[in-house]
Amino acid sequence: MVTSQMHRPPRNLMPEEFVLTELRKPFTVFLIKSDESVRSEMTALLRTAQIEVREYLTATEFYLDEKYNVPGVVLIDARIQGMPVAELMTRLQEANSAIQVVAIASHAHVPAGIQLLQQGASDFISRPLDSHELISTIARAYCVHYDIPSSALFDSTEDIAAGLSRLTERERQVLDLLIKGQSSRGISDHLGIRVKTVEAHRSRVNDKMRSRDVAHLIRMCYALPETELV
């Protein structure tokens, strides 16, 4: 399900090359989702922003369609049935495809989304999906593909580093484990603290890092060189 009554993000947050369809270059969203009702809802939302969408039930169906060389992005459930996302990414790499892969992960499957980032996914977004974040995700993929800078869509490394500097030692420990794909329960067991305490630390980390959700938080951390995360 896609939340939020706003069907388009504020136009001034989007690069002109993306907002103005007369300037927009070819770019297709390949939406792979088994839930037909949610897939249709997402497609309708993206088309309100005049984004071209092609729908697929499985990764195999998309792969057999042989659209590897079409400028675009694959938007796929992290836990899709059939061909795993990691295998699809491997096949796209073997085909020398420039198509990016963005994983959709529920709160419970965030570790799977992080693992896919480590395996080569360009981004991931968390459910329930927010309409603003969904279209912003496509805009980011578009900007990456066509090498278009956008300070509104990409956090600066300076701002991310400043957020990290505001964290306490314990908050940093929680963040480091979260980046590695640990759930709140896993972090609780590792640090020997209660799950509620972990959740409280995570909330403060989000506030200090100014992240909108866990996917945004992870994306910010992955934007930094590894040396700045240690």
Residue 207 clears pLDDT 90, i.e. is over it? yes
For 44-64, write each residue's pLDDT tens digit: 999 998 999 999 999 999 999
Q: Report the alpha-carbon distance of residue 141 to residue 127 in Å, rounded.
A: 18
Cα 175 from chain centre: 18
Q: Which amino acid is at 57?
A: L
Place of tokens 């989702």: 33
Q: Report the alpha-carbon distance of residue 165 to residue 225 in Å, rounded.
A: 15
Domain assignments of the chain as residue spans, ordered by start: 2-146, 157-228
Phi, psi of 121, deg, nearest 5: -65, 145
For 86-136, write each residue's pLDDT tens digit: 999 999 999 999 999 999 988 777 888 888 888 889 898 888 888 888 998
pLDDT more than 90, % of the chain: 52
Domain 2-146: give its CATH code.
3.40.50.2300
Domain 157-228: give its CATH code.
1.10.10.10
43 with 3: CB under 8 angstroms?
A: no
More confident residue, 150 or 189: 189
